[in-house]
Structure 1
């Protein structure tokens, strides 16, 4: 594969805002945030995972004791900066998703799910390795072929076994198919096939939940434009879909959008990434709105008690405190950015 760990860490830089009415698609380019892989030292070995950490009663998901935020808390404590440490604890004490890397997927998923099981919690895992991903932007690459991707998924399945896990499947993969000039037409059928197969494999496991990514309310403006793509990708076999991954759209707008889309795809439920949407989206366009935008804040804490029948959970899928890219003084995409983490914590919605 040519999808390296550093590549997986770097989330895409460019998105298209699509306004759809039937077959009509008007594309306006906008930029969005960056993702990171869990295949770094923040995951730790199984010995590291034995450390006790607080586990919230409001969410079934596991809190990683060796995440970047937890390490930052320890560093601030050592420096005597208790004020900053307390702020970063707002991140460190919450469960965030693990993005499965490409080097040792079976070992990684086994380690994570065993640690979660020991804590009587479920693992939250993200798959992000489709061929031809990200329109050639920061996170371009992915598996070198369809068969390589299938083999990668199979190793993840083996690593999870019969333990509990919730999967967010391939952020951006469907909206990018609707973006003109992004994924070459000759790869569309392959992508649908791979997504459908993956959803089938993950859903057939004994203790899993599976959510297909469906962008955000400011991307594919008309949710009807995603109905056929979701159906072809296997939404019928999935538990539902995911919204707002690595974006800043408000929880309210995501709920309204998700309800409309749910009614079009068999009343499937959905999850919302609330990791950085506490202040809603930033004003402006281009990098001003997606790349380390100032003034943003942590959104609702991860919870399965959403108060909304159709919303299964508010999740932190994008790991708050990791950079969107080298803009506004930030480090490379996916790298820990302590100054930005502090700002998110100061501006938290709670």
Structure 2
């Protein structure tokens, strides 16, 4: 009989331990919860579907499935049920032993069995009741995770909050996004490329330069331009950005068409690899226009595609980037490939 007492104690302990573990891990990390299988010998309450044994094969039907979302909660309930059943059996056995003997020691043994069984039953049911009182979710858990669709937001090139740019709905007076990620981390720290003015705060602001959302082709292109220029003759080539994605300061439109982002046709927009750089540095100018260099450095005309970037001045093709010398004010207007930068 001592073995029965040990069994019920173990069952009760397992029930409590199972409740504690499952309460702690009822929010799973796993993809396993969705991986089902057909058990050869299903446990009661741990499966879904028809689990009757097929008389032909001797195994459950294929639609009998089990996974963690069914198995663990079912095992939890099964352990509680087994503990309760063993407790009742031990109470009956203890009662029979108590009534069927006149021996004092026999009656004490029966009373001890009944007491242990009652305490085991109280332990199992009490633990369940306490957890259910604290929160029903601790005992009515589920391992099925609902998929949450990602928010429909537009991630701008270069990081930061997209604001009106994300919906392509900017008009005059709208707040303009911060460009410190591209300005500081990409251009300045990544290639020692400064920007001549502070970032714009609103659409329509003048006397500002923004590199918010500047295409990666332009970012990589100006950095590589500086490196290659300086590598030609061990000289210093200053590359300063003077125009970026502040579209309202560029283009030929006037009025509302100039400050409305989806109406302005300039290439100076977030996501594009078009940038203006200063033409005040002779080393850089000589590097761009030096036709004696080998490779694909060459003067391009409108008929050769130079005007697709700009028709406001002479253009030079370096790799797959077009450099156009514009005036009013004098500067380099550069169109880089969106994916491969300057093509160096």
What TM-score comes out, normalization by structure 2 length? 0.21
For the pair shown, which has the larger CA radius of gyration, 1 or 2?
Answer: 2
Q: Which has the higher strand share?
A: 1
Which protein, 1 or 2, shows the higher relative CO under an 8 Å CA cutoff with sep ≥ 6?
1
